[in-house]
Chain A
Amino acid sequence: MTSLGFSLSQARLAFSGQWLFDGLTVDFAPGSWTGLLGRSGSGKSSLLRMIAGLPIPDTHDVTLTTSDERPLSGRLAWMAQQDQLLPWRKVIDNVLLGPALRDRPSAAQYQRALDLLGDVGLSDKTQQWPKTLSGGERQRVALARTLFEDAPVILMDEPFSAVDAITRLELHELAARLLAGRTVLLVTHDPLEALRLSDRILILSGQPASLSDVDVPDGHPPRALDAPDVQRMQSHLVRRLHTPHGPIDGSGA
Protein backbone atom coordinates (compact mmCIF):
# COMPACT_ATOMS: atom_id res chain seq x y z
CA MET A 1 0.00 0.00 0.00
CA THR A 2 1.42 3.36 -1.02
CA SER A 3 0.81 6.46 1.05
CA LEU A 4 -1.81 8.83 -0.16
CA GLY A 5 -2.02 12.53 0.64
CA PHE A 6 -5.08 14.65 0.17
CA SER A 7 -6.15 18.26 0.27
CA LEU A 8 -9.37 20.01 0.82
CA SER A 9 -10.19 23.42 -0.45
CA GLN A 10 -13.13 25.78 -0.19
CA ALA A 11 -14.64 23.74 2.60
CA ARG A 12 -17.62 25.46 4.09
CA LEU A 13 -20.41 24.64 6.47
CA ALA A 14 -23.45 26.63 7.49
CA PHE A 15 -25.33 26.08 10.69
CA SER A 16 -28.79 27.72 10.94
CA GLY A 17 -27.98 30.27 8.25
CA GLN A 18 -24.53 31.23 9.52
CA TRP A 19 -21.21 30.10 8.14
CA LEU A 20 -19.48 28.03 10.78
CA PHE A 21 -16.49 28.11 8.48
CA ASP A 22 -16.03 29.17 4.88
CA GLY A 23 -13.14 28.73 2.48
CA LEU A 24 -11.06 26.33 4.58
CA THR A 25 -8.07 25.00 2.70
CA VAL A 26 -5.62 22.45 4.05
CA ASP A 27 -3.20 19.76 2.84
CA PHE A 28 -2.67 16.44 4.54
CA ALA A 29 0.77 15.01 3.77
CA PRO A 30 0.99 11.34 2.74
CA GLY A 31 1.62 9.04 5.69
CA SER A 32 1.28 11.74 8.32
CA TRP A 33 -0.94 11.93 11.38
CA THR A 34 -2.86 15.15 11.80
CA GLY A 35 -4.67 15.94 15.03
CA LEU A 36 -7.61 18.26 14.57
CA LEU A 37 -8.63 19.98 17.78
CA GLY A 38 -11.56 22.23 18.43
CA ARG A 39 -14.26 22.83 20.95
CA SER A 40 -17.67 21.22 20.72
CA GLY A 41 -19.70 22.85 17.98
CA SER A 42 -16.66 24.10 16.09
CA GLY A 43 -17.65 21.92 13.15
CA LYS A 44 -14.63 19.62 13.33
CA SER A 45 -16.70 16.45 13.24
CA SER A 46 -18.75 17.80 10.33
CA LEU A 47 -15.54 18.58 8.48
CA LEU A 48 -14.48 14.98 8.94
CA ARG A 49 -17.87 13.72 7.74
CA MET A 50 -17.54 15.92 4.66
CA ILE A 51 -14.22 14.33 3.81
CA ALA A 52 -15.72 10.87 4.32
CA GLY A 53 -18.68 11.80 2.12
CA LEU A 54 -21.14 11.04 4.91
CA PRO A 55 -24.51 12.81 5.12
CA ILE A 56 -24.63 16.13 6.99
CA PRO A 57 -27.94 17.88 7.60
CA ASP A 58 -26.46 21.38 7.24
CA THR A 59 -25.49 23.22 4.07
CA HIS A 60 -21.95 22.34 3.15
CA ASP A 61 -19.49 22.13 0.31
CA VAL A 62 -15.93 20.90 -0.14
CA THR A 63 -13.49 20.17 -2.92
CA LEU A 64 -11.24 17.17 -2.32
CA THR A 65 -8.11 16.35 -4.25
CA THR A 66 -5.65 13.55 -3.70
CA SER A 67 -1.92 13.20 -4.35
CA ASP A 68 -2.59 10.68 -7.15
CA GLU A 69 -5.55 12.63 -8.51
CA ARG A 70 -7.96 9.73 -8.20
CA PRO A 71 -11.05 10.04 -6.03
CA LEU A 72 -10.69 9.54 -2.30
CA SER A 73 -13.94 7.64 -1.86
CA GLY A 74 -13.43 3.91 -1.48
CA ARG A 75 -9.93 4.46 -0.18
CA LEU A 76 -10.69 5.66 3.30
CA ALA A 77 -11.58 3.94 6.53
CA TRP A 78 -13.78 5.45 9.20
CA MET A 79 -13.49 5.09 12.95
CA ALA A 80 -16.22 6.73 14.99
CA GLN A 81 -16.55 7.69 18.61
CA GLN A 82 -18.46 4.53 19.40
CA ASP A 83 -16.99 1.23 18.26
CA GLN A 84 -20.12 0.58 16.11
CA LEU A 85 -19.72 -3.17 16.47
CA LEU A 86 -22.80 -4.99 15.25
CA PRO A 87 -24.17 -6.95 18.21
CA TRP A 88 -25.47 -9.78 15.99
CA ARG A 89 -22.05 -10.50 14.49
CA LYS A 90 -19.36 -12.28 16.43
CA VAL A 91 -16.02 -10.54 16.87
CA ILE A 92 -14.45 -12.14 13.80
CA ASP A 93 -17.52 -11.33 11.69
CA ASN A 94 -17.37 -7.71 12.78
CA VAL A 95 -13.80 -7.53 11.48
CA LEU A 96 -15.07 -9.09 8.25
CA LEU A 97 -17.93 -6.60 7.92
CA GLY A 98 -16.38 -4.78 4.97
CA PRO A 99 -16.11 -7.85 2.71
CA ALA A 100 -19.51 -9.08 3.94
CA LEU A 101 -21.10 -5.81 2.84
CA ARG A 102 -19.42 -5.81 -0.54
CA ASP A 103 -19.46 -9.51 -1.36
CA ARG A 104 -18.84 -12.67 0.63
CA PRO A 105 -15.70 -13.03 2.75
CA SER A 106 -13.20 -15.52 1.33
CA ALA A 107 -11.14 -18.03 3.29
CA ALA A 108 -8.05 -15.87 2.83
CA GLN A 109 -9.89 -12.87 4.19
CA TYR A 110 -11.03 -14.91 7.16
CA GLN A 111 -7.44 -15.84 7.90
CA ARG A 112 -6.37 -12.21 7.57
CA ALA A 113 -9.09 -11.14 10.01
CA LEU A 114 -7.79 -13.73 12.48
CA ASP A 115 -4.26 -12.39 12.08
CA LEU A 116 -5.44 -8.84 12.65
CA LEU A 117 -7.32 -9.87 15.77
CA GLY A 118 -4.06 -11.40 16.91
CA ASP A 119 -2.31 -8.08 16.26
CA VAL A 120 -4.74 -6.26 18.51
CA GLY A 121 -4.39 -8.98 21.16
CA LEU A 122 -7.80 -10.62 20.84
CA SER A 123 -6.90 -14.05 19.42
CA ASP A 124 -8.85 -15.77 22.17
CA LYS A 125 -12.06 -13.78 21.67
CA THR A 126 -12.70 -14.20 17.95
CA GLN A 127 -15.89 -16.25 18.41
CA GLN A 128 -17.45 -14.15 21.15
CA TRP A 129 -20.40 -11.78 20.94
CA PRO A 130 -19.42 -8.12 21.20
CA LYS A 131 -21.57 -7.71 24.31
CA THR A 132 -19.16 -9.93 26.23
CA LEU A 133 -16.22 -7.59 25.61
CA SER A 134 -15.00 -4.63 27.63
CA GLY A 135 -15.03 -1.13 26.16
CA GLY A 136 -11.31 -1.28 25.38
CA GLU A 137 -11.64 -4.69 23.73
CA ARG A 138 -14.53 -3.49 21.63
CA GLN A 139 -12.51 -0.52 20.43
CA ARG A 140 -9.67 -2.91 19.54
CA VAL A 141 -12.08 -4.94 17.42
CA ALA A 142 -13.08 -1.68 15.73
CA LEU A 143 -9.38 -1.02 15.12
CA ALA A 144 -8.97 -4.48 13.57
CA ARG A 145 -12.00 -3.84 11.36
CA THR A 146 -10.43 -0.54 10.27
CA LEU A 147 -7.09 -2.23 9.60
CA PHE A 148 -8.78 -4.92 7.55
CA GLU A 149 -9.86 -2.34 4.99
CA ASP A 150 -6.18 -1.55 4.40
CA ALA A 151 -7.13 1.99 3.40
CA PRO A 152 -4.39 4.59 2.87
CA VAL A 153 -6.50 7.27 4.55
CA ILE A 154 -7.99 6.82 8.01
CA LEU A 155 -10.53 9.26 9.40
CA MET A 156 -11.10 9.09 13.14
CA ASP A 157 -13.77 10.95 15.03
CA GLU A 158 -12.79 10.95 18.71
CA PRO A 159 -12.25 7.20 18.49
CA PHE A 160 -10.90 6.76 22.00
CA SER A 161 -13.22 9.03 23.91
CA ALA A 162 -15.62 6.33 25.07
CA VAL A 163 -13.05 4.34 27.07
CA ASP A 164 -11.40 5.00 30.42
CA ALA A 165 -8.15 6.99 30.64
CA ILE A 166 -5.77 4.05 31.08
CA THR A 167 -7.36 2.03 28.26
CA ARG A 168 -7.16 5.13 26.09
CA LEU A 169 -3.40 5.38 26.60
CA GLU A 170 -2.98 1.72 25.65
CA LEU A 171 -5.13 2.18 22.57
CA HIS A 172 -3.01 5.17 21.52
CA GLU A 173 0.12 3.04 21.40
CA LEU A 174 -1.62 0.22 19.59
CA ALA A 175 -3.17 2.54 16.99
CA ALA A 176 0.07 4.45 16.44
CA ARG A 177 1.93 1.19 15.87
CA LEU A 178 -0.62 -0.51 13.62
CA LEU A 179 -1.63 2.52 11.59
CA ALA A 180 1.90 3.83 11.01
CA GLY A 181 2.50 4.97 7.44
CA ARG A 182 -1.12 5.82 6.78
CA THR A 183 -2.54 9.27 6.35
CA VAL A 184 -4.58 9.76 9.48
CA LEU A 185 -6.86 12.61 10.38
CA LEU A 186 -7.76 12.40 14.04
CA VAL A 187 -10.52 14.65 15.33
CA THR A 188 -10.29 14.95 19.08
CA HIS A 189 -11.11 17.24 21.96
CA ASP A 190 -8.32 15.77 24.06
CA PRO A 191 -5.14 17.88 23.71
CA LEU A 192 -3.03 15.12 25.24
CA GLU A 193 -4.25 12.63 22.64
CA ALA A 194 -3.33 15.03 19.83
CA LEU A 195 0.10 15.71 21.35
CA ARG A 196 0.92 12.03 21.76
CA LEU A 197 -0.15 10.91 18.32
CA SER A 198 0.15 13.74 15.80
CA ASP A 199 2.84 14.78 13.38
CA ARG A 200 0.89 17.97 12.98
CA ILE A 201 -1.78 19.64 15.08
CA LEU A 202 -4.49 21.92 13.74
CA ILE A 203 -6.94 23.93 15.77
CA LEU A 204 -10.32 24.84 14.33
CA SER A 205 -11.53 27.97 16.06
CA GLY A 206 -12.94 31.44 15.57
CA GLN A 207 -16.12 32.87 14.11
CA PRO A 208 -16.20 31.93 11.29
CA ALA A 209 -13.64 29.27 12.15
CA SER A 210 -10.24 28.96 10.60
CA LEU A 211 -7.50 26.36 10.92
CA SER A 212 -4.23 27.23 12.60
CA ASP A 213 -1.09 25.14 13.10
CA VAL A 214 0.23 24.52 16.58
CA ASP A 215 3.72 23.39 17.57
CA VAL A 216 4.16 19.67 18.02
CA PRO A 217 6.56 18.06 20.53
CA ASP A 218 9.80 16.52 19.22
CA GLY A 219 10.10 12.81 18.64
CA HIS A 220 7.94 10.27 16.91
CA PRO A 221 4.45 9.23 17.94
CA PRO A 222 3.37 7.67 20.16
CA ARG A 223 5.17 10.11 22.42
CA ALA A 224 5.67 9.27 26.04
CA LEU A 225 3.07 10.63 28.38
CA ASP A 226 5.66 12.09 30.74
CA ALA A 227 7.85 13.78 28.13
CA PRO A 228 8.37 17.35 29.38
CA ASP A 229 7.43 18.75 25.97
CA VAL A 230 4.13 16.91 25.99
CA GLN A 231 3.22 18.14 29.43
CA ARG A 232 4.21 21.76 28.73
CA MET A 233 2.43 21.89 25.41
CA GLN A 234 -0.69 20.36 26.85
CA SER A 235 -1.28 23.31 29.14
CA HIS A 236 -0.47 25.65 26.26
CA LEU A 237 -3.02 23.87 24.04
CA VAL A 238 -5.68 23.97 26.71
CA ARG A 239 -5.17 27.75 26.96
CA ARG A 240 -5.33 28.06 23.18
CA LEU A 241 -8.59 26.19 23.04
CA HIS A 242 -9.98 28.21 25.88
CA THR A 243 -9.28 31.63 24.29
CA PRO A 244 -8.91 31.02 20.57
CA HIS A 245 -7.18 34.24 19.57
CA GLY A 246 -5.85 35.46 22.87
CA PRO A 247 -7.04 38.49 24.78
CA ILE A 248 -6.59 40.84 21.79
CA ASP A 249 -9.61 39.27 20.08
CA GLY A 250 -12.28 41.59 21.37
CA SER A 251 -15.11 40.59 19.07
CA GLY A 252 -17.19 39.64 22.10
CA ALA A 253 -18.89 36.84 20.17
Chain B
Amino acid sequence: MSMLKRFWPALLGIITLLGLWQILVVVSGVPDYILPAPLTVAQAFAAHQPLLWHHAGITVIEIVAGLLIGFISGLGTALALARFHGLRRTLLPILLISQAVPLFALAPILMLWLGYGMTAKIVMATLIIYFPVASTCYDGLRQTPQGWLDLAQTLGADRRRRLLRIQLPAALPALASGMRMAASAAPIGAVIGEWVGSSQGLGYLMLNANARMQVDLMFAALLILVTFGVALYFTTDALMRRLMPWHDDRISTR
Protein backbone atom coordinates (compact mmCIF):
# COMPACT_ATOMS: atom_id res chain seq x y z
CA MET B 1 0.00 0.00 0.00
CA SER B 2 2.67 2.46 1.00
CA MET B 3 4.71 1.44 -2.06
CA LEU B 4 1.73 2.23 -4.25
CA LYS B 5 1.24 5.52 -2.49
CA ARG B 6 4.85 6.46 -3.03
CA PHE B 7 5.02 5.51 -6.67
CA TRP B 8 1.62 6.41 -8.04
CA PRO B 9 2.56 10.01 -8.99
CA ALA B 10 5.50 8.71 -11.05
CA LEU B 11 3.36 5.93 -12.52
CA LEU B 12 0.64 8.39 -13.41
CA GLY B 13 3.22 10.60 -15.13
CA ILE B 14 4.51 7.72 -17.23
CA ILE B 15 1.02 6.55 -18.19
CA THR B 16 0.03 10.09 -19.19
CA LEU B 17 3.15 10.42 -21.31
CA LEU B 18 2.48 7.09 -23.05
CA GLY B 19 -1.13 8.14 -23.63
CA LEU B 20 -0.05 11.42 -25.23
CA TRP B 21 2.43 9.54 -27.40
CA GLN B 22 -0.29 7.14 -28.56
CA ILE B 23 -2.67 10.03 -29.33
CA LEU B 24 0.05 11.96 -31.18
CA VAL B 25 0.81 9.00 -33.43
CA VAL B 26 -2.86 8.21 -34.13
CA VAL B 27 -3.87 11.84 -34.77
CA SER B 28 -0.84 12.84 -36.86
CA GLY B 29 -0.77 9.62 -38.86
CA VAL B 30 3.02 9.26 -38.64
CA PRO B 31 4.00 5.97 -40.27
CA ASP B 32 5.15 3.17 -37.97
CA TYR B 33 8.67 3.11 -39.45
CA ILE B 34 9.24 6.71 -38.27
CA LEU B 35 7.57 6.67 -34.87
CA PRO B 36 5.70 3.58 -33.71
CA ALA B 37 2.90 4.06 -31.20
CA PRO B 38 3.38 2.57 -27.71
CA LEU B 39 0.89 -0.17 -28.48
CA THR B 40 2.78 -1.12 -31.64
CA VAL B 41 5.98 -1.30 -29.60
CA ALA B 42 4.19 -3.52 -27.09
CA GLN B 43 3.09 -5.81 -29.90
CA ALA B 44 6.63 -5.95 -31.30
CA PHE B 45 7.90 -6.70 -27.82
CA ALA B 46 5.47 -9.58 -27.43
CA ALA B 47 6.11 -10.94 -30.93
CA HIS B 48 9.92 -10.94 -30.67
CA GLN B 49 10.34 -12.14 -27.09
CA PRO B 50 12.86 -14.97 -27.63
CA LEU B 51 14.98 -12.79 -29.90
CA LEU B 52 14.92 -9.85 -27.48
CA TRP B 53 15.77 -11.92 -24.43
CA HIS B 54 18.62 -13.66 -26.19
CA HIS B 55 20.29 -10.37 -27.09
CA ALA B 56 19.40 -8.77 -23.76
CA GLY B 57 21.16 -11.60 -21.96
CA ILE B 58 24.38 -10.89 -23.83
CA THR B 59 24.22 -7.17 -23.12
CA VAL B 60 23.38 -7.70 -19.45
CA ILE B 61 26.40 -9.97 -19.01
CA GLU B 62 28.61 -7.33 -20.63
CA ILE B 63 27.22 -4.56 -18.45
CA VAL B 64 27.44 -6.46 -15.17
CA ALA B 65 30.93 -7.80 -15.91
CA GLY B 66 32.13 -4.34 -16.94
CA LEU B 67 30.56 -2.82 -13.86
CA LEU B 68 32.18 -5.28 -11.47
CA ILE B 69 35.63 -5.21 -13.08
CA GLY B 70 35.54 -1.42 -13.49
CA PHE B 71 34.42 -0.81 -9.94
CA ILE B 72 36.85 -3.24 -8.31
CA SER B 73 39.83 -1.97 -10.28
CA GLY B 74 38.79 1.66 -9.73
CA LEU B 75 38.47 1.10 -6.00
CA GLY B 76 41.76 -0.80 -5.95
CA THR B 77 43.52 2.06 -7.71
CA ALA B 78 42.05 4.58 -5.27
CA LEU B 79 43.15 2.49 -2.27
CA ALA B 80 46.65 2.07 -3.67
CA LEU B 81 46.91 5.80 -4.34
CA ALA B 82 45.77 6.59 -0.81
CA ARG B 83 48.08 4.01 0.73
CA PHE B 84 51.32 4.61 -1.19
CA HIS B 85 52.38 8.22 -1.45
CA GLY B 86 55.09 7.41 -3.98
CA LEU B 87 52.52 6.10 -6.42
CA ARG B 88 50.66 9.38 -6.61
CA ARG B 89 53.25 11.31 -8.60
CA THR B 90 53.48 8.55 -11.19
CA LEU B 91 49.91 7.37 -11.40
CA LEU B 92 47.84 10.51 -10.89
CA PRO B 93 49.06 12.36 -14.00
CA ILE B 94 48.54 9.22 -16.10
CA LEU B 95 45.02 8.90 -14.71
CA LEU B 96 44.30 12.53 -15.50
CA ILE B 97 45.60 12.27 -19.06
CA SER B 98 43.76 9.02 -19.71
CA GLN B 99 40.51 10.68 -18.62
CA ALA B 100 40.91 13.04 -21.56
CA VAL B 101 40.94 10.18 -24.08
CA PRO B 102 37.49 10.02 -25.71
CA LEU B 103 36.45 6.47 -25.00
CA PHE B 104 34.05 6.37 -27.93
CA ALA B 105 36.99 6.85 -30.25
CA LEU B 106 38.66 3.85 -28.65
CA ALA B 107 35.83 1.47 -29.52
CA PRO B 108 37.00 0.62 -33.08
CA ILE B 109 40.55 0.01 -31.82
CA LEU B 110 39.24 -2.31 -29.13
CA MET B 111 37.33 -4.26 -31.79
CA LEU B 112 40.53 -4.50 -33.79
CA TRP B 113 42.47 -5.84 -30.83
CA LEU B 114 39.91 -7.97 -29.07
CA GLY B 115 37.61 -9.05 -31.86
CA TYR B 116 33.86 -8.89 -32.17
CA GLY B 117 33.02 -10.98 -29.13
CA MET B 118 31.99 -9.98 -25.65
CA THR B 119 35.49 -9.17 -24.41
CA ALA B 120 35.77 -5.89 -26.31
CA LYS B 121 32.41 -4.73 -24.92
CA ILE B 122 33.30 -5.69 -21.38
CA VAL B 123 36.56 -3.78 -21.70
CA MET B 124 34.66 -0.80 -23.09
CA ALA B 125 32.19 -0.81 -20.18
CA THR B 126 35.05 -1.32 -17.74
CA LEU B 127 36.99 1.64 -19.14
CA ILE B 128 34.00 3.94 -19.09
CA ILE B 129 33.49 3.17 -15.38
CA TYR B 130 37.05 2.83 -14.18
CA PHE B 131 38.20 6.45 -14.27
CA PRO B 132 35.22 8.13 -12.64
CA VAL B 133 35.12 5.43 -9.94
CA ALA B 134 38.85 5.70 -9.26
CA SER B 135 38.75 9.48 -8.96
CA THR B 136 35.56 9.62 -6.84
CA CYS B 137 36.90 6.95 -4.50
CA TYR B 138 40.30 8.59 -4.25
CA ASP B 139 38.71 11.96 -3.47
CA GLY B 140 36.57 10.29 -0.83
CA LEU B 141 39.58 8.59 0.74
CA ARG B 142 41.47 11.88 0.90
CA GLN B 143 38.68 13.82 2.52
CA THR B 144 38.63 12.02 5.84
CA PRO B 145 37.88 14.56 8.59
CA GLN B 146 41.11 15.59 10.34
CA GLY B 147 39.63 14.80 13.76
CA TRP B 148 39.36 11.08 12.90
CA LEU B 149 42.89 11.03 11.55
CA ASP B 150 44.15 12.71 14.74
CA LEU B 151 42.34 10.13 16.79
CA ALA B 152 43.75 7.27 14.72
CA GLN B 153 47.25 8.64 15.16
CA THR B 154 47.00 9.03 18.94
CA LEU B 155 45.50 5.52 19.13
CA GLY B 156 48.60 4.18 17.40
CA ALA B 157 46.94 2.98 14.18
CA ASP B 158 49.21 1.70 11.43
CA ARG B 159 48.67 3.06 7.92
CA ARG B 160 46.94 -0.03 6.59
CA ARG B 161 44.39 -0.23 9.38
CA ARG B 162 43.84 3.50 9.31
CA LEU B 163 43.04 3.21 5.61
CA LEU B 164 40.72 0.22 5.97
CA ARG B 165 39.00 1.03 9.25
CA ILE B 166 38.76 4.83 9.08
CA GLN B 167 39.40 6.28 5.64
CA LEU B 168 37.53 3.62 3.66
CA PRO B 169 34.31 3.63 5.73
CA ALA B 170 34.48 7.42 5.87
CA ALA B 171 34.62 7.42 2.07
CA LEU B 172 31.65 5.04 1.65
CA PRO B 173 29.14 7.79 0.87
CA ALA B 174 31.49 9.02 -1.87
CA LEU B 175 31.99 5.43 -3.09
CA ALA B 176 28.23 5.01 -3.21
CA SER B 177 27.78 7.98 -5.50
CA GLY B 178 30.65 6.69 -7.64
CA MET B 179 28.93 3.32 -7.83
CA ARG B 180 25.56 4.84 -8.77
CA MET B 181 27.26 6.86 -11.47
CA ALA B 182 29.02 3.74 -12.73
CA ALA B 183 25.72 1.86 -12.82
CA SER B 184 24.23 4.41 -15.18
CA ALA B 185 27.37 4.66 -17.34
CA ALA B 186 28.01 0.93 -17.82
CA PRO B 187 25.16 0.31 -20.33
CA ILE B 188 26.52 3.12 -22.52
CA GLY B 189 29.89 1.39 -22.77
CA ALA B 190 28.38 -1.96 -23.68
CA VAL B 191 25.98 -0.56 -26.28
CA ILE B 192 28.63 1.63 -27.92
CA GLY B 193 30.81 -1.45 -28.18
CA GLU B 194 27.98 -3.39 -29.83
CA TRP B 195 27.29 -0.59 -32.27
CA VAL B 196 30.85 -0.50 -33.47
CA GLY B 197 30.96 -4.16 -34.27
CA SER B 198 29.22 -7.27 -33.01
CA SER B 199 26.90 -10.06 -33.94
CA GLN B 200 24.96 -10.19 -30.68
CA GLY B 201 23.51 -7.94 -28.01
CA LEU B 202 20.79 -5.31 -27.81
CA GLY B 203 23.01 -2.68 -29.47
CA TYR B 204 23.49 -5.00 -32.43
CA LEU B 205 19.79 -5.80 -32.52
CA MET B 206 18.88 -2.09 -32.52
CA LEU B 207 21.30 -1.28 -35.30
CA ASN B 208 20.03 -4.20 -37.33
CA ALA B 209 16.37 -3.35 -36.74
CA ASN B 210 17.08 0.23 -37.70
CA ALA B 211 18.57 -0.82 -41.02
CA ARG B 212 15.48 -2.93 -41.72
CA MET B 213 13.09 -0.13 -40.73
CA GLN B 214 11.84 -2.25 -37.81
CA VAL B 215 11.61 0.82 -35.61
CA ASP B 216 9.09 -0.87 -33.32
CA LEU B 217 11.60 -3.62 -32.56
CA MET B 218 14.23 -0.96 -31.92
CA PHE B 219 12.00 0.70 -29.38
CA ALA B 220 11.28 -2.65 -27.76
CA ALA B 221 15.04 -3.21 -27.35
CA LEU B 222 15.39 0.30 -25.99
CA LEU B 223 12.63 -0.45 -23.49
CA ILE B 224 14.64 -3.39 -22.14
CA LEU B 225 17.77 -1.26 -21.88
CA VAL B 226 15.94 1.47 -20.00
CA THR B 227 14.26 -0.99 -17.66
CA PHE B 228 17.54 -2.70 -16.96
CA GLY B 229 19.28 0.64 -16.40
CA VAL B 230 16.67 1.70 -13.86
CA ALA B 231 16.77 -1.70 -12.14
CA LEU B 232 20.56 -1.54 -11.97
CA TYR B 233 20.46 1.91 -10.44
CA PHE B 234 17.98 0.93 -7.73
CA THR B 235 19.77 -2.34 -6.98
CA THR B 236 23.02 -0.45 -6.54
CA ASP B 237 21.31 2.13 -4.37
CA ALA B 238 19.72 -0.55 -2.17
CA LEU B 239 23.06 -2.36 -1.87
CA MET B 240 24.81 0.84 -0.82
CA ARG B 241 22.14 1.51 1.78
CA ARG B 242 22.60 -1.96 3.21
CA LEU B 243 26.31 -1.33 3.37
CA MET B 244 25.73 1.84 5.38
CA PRO B 245 23.01 1.17 7.94
CA TRP B 246 24.43 3.99 10.02
CA HIS B 247 24.15 6.54 7.27
CA ASP B 248 21.06 8.62 6.89
CA ASP B 249 20.43 10.86 3.94
CA ARG B 250 18.44 13.40 5.84
CA ILE B 251 20.09 16.76 6.07
CA SER B 252 21.79 16.88 9.41
CA THR B 253 22.27 20.04 11.43
CA ARG B 254 25.41 18.77 13.07
Q: Which residues of A does B touch, CB under 8 Å? A: 49, 52-54, 74, 76-78, 80, 82, 84, 86-88, 97-98, 100-102, 129-131, 149, 155
User: Cβ of A101 and Cβ of B147 under 8 Å apart?
Assistant: no
User: Cβ of B151 and Cβ of A97 under 8 Å apart?
Assistant: yes
Number of A-B contacts (CB under 8 A): 61
Asked, given contacts A80-B151, A86-B166, A88-B169, whether A101 binds B157 with beta carbons under 8 Å apart, the answer is: yes
- Give the complex CA separation of A222 and B156 in angstroms: 30
Chain B's nearest CB lies how many Å from the CB of A121? Answer: 22
Q: Which residues of B contact A54 (CB under 8 A)?
A: 150, 153-154
Chain A's nearest CB lies how many Å from the CB of B246? Answer: 5
The reply to whether the CB of B148 lies closer than 8 angstroms to some CB of chain A is: yes
Chain B's nearest CB lies how many Å from the CB of A41? Answer: 18
Which range contains the number of B residues in contact with the other chain?
A: 20 to 34
The reply to whether the CB of B165 lies closer than 8 angstroms to some CB of chain A is: yes
- Give the complex CA separation of A97 and B159 in angstroms: 15
The binding surface of chain B is classed by DSSP as helix
The reply to whether the CB of B162 lies closer than 8 angstroms to some CB of chain A is: yes
Q: Which residues of B does A touch, CB under 8 Å? A: 147-148, 150-158, 161-162, 165-166, 169-170, 172, 244-248
- Give the complex CA separation of A135 and B72 in angstroms: 38
Q: Which residues of A contact B166 (CB under 8 A)?
A: 86, 101
User: Cβ of B161 and Cβ of A101 under 8 Å apart?
Assistant: yes
User: Cβ of A87 and Cβ of B247 under 8 Å apart?
Assistant: yes
A-B contacts, 23 of them at CB < 8 A, read A52-B150, A52-B153, A52-B154, A80-B150, A84-B147, A84-B148, A84-B151, A86-B166, A86-B169, A87-B246, A87-B247, A88-B169, A88-B172, A88-B247, A100-B161, A100-B165, A101-B155, A101-B156, A101-B157, A101-B165, A102-B155, A102-B157, A129-B246
Known interface pairs A52-B153, A86-B170; 19 further A-B residue pairs with C-beta atoms within 8 A, sorted by A's residue number: A52-B150, A54-B154, A76-B154, A78-B151, A78-B154, A80-B147, A80-B150, A80-B151, A84-B148, A84-B150, A86-B169, A87-B246, A100-B161, A100-B165, A101-B155, A101-B162, A101-B166, A131-B246, A149-B155
Asked, given contacts A88-B172, A88-B246, whether A102 binds B153 with beta carbons under 8 Å apart, the answer is: no
Q: Which residues of B contact A97 (CB under 8 A)?
A: 151, 155
User: Cβ of B248 and Cβ of A82 under 8 Å apart?
Assistant: no
- Give the complex CA separation of A87 and B170 in angstroms: 9
- Give the complex CA separation of A54 and B244 in angstroms: 30
What are the 5 tightest A-B residue pairs by CB atom distance, in nearest-first order? A101-B157, A78-B154, A98-B155, A88-B169, A84-B147
User: Cβ of B152 and Cβ of A101 under 8 Å apart?
Assistant: yes
Q: Which residues of A contact B162 (CB under 8 A)?
A: 101
Residue of B whose beta carbon sits closest to that of A132 = B246
- Give the complex CA separation of A85 and B153 in angstroms: 15
User: Cβ of B156 and Cβ of A98 under 8 Å apart?
Assistant: yes
Chain A's nearest CB lies how many Å from the CB of B145? Answer: 8
- Give the complex CA separation of A227 and B148 in angstroms: 38
Q: Which residues of B contact A100 (CB under 8 A)?
A: 161, 165
Contact partner of A78 (CB less than 8 A), chosen from B150, B157, B161, B248, is: B150
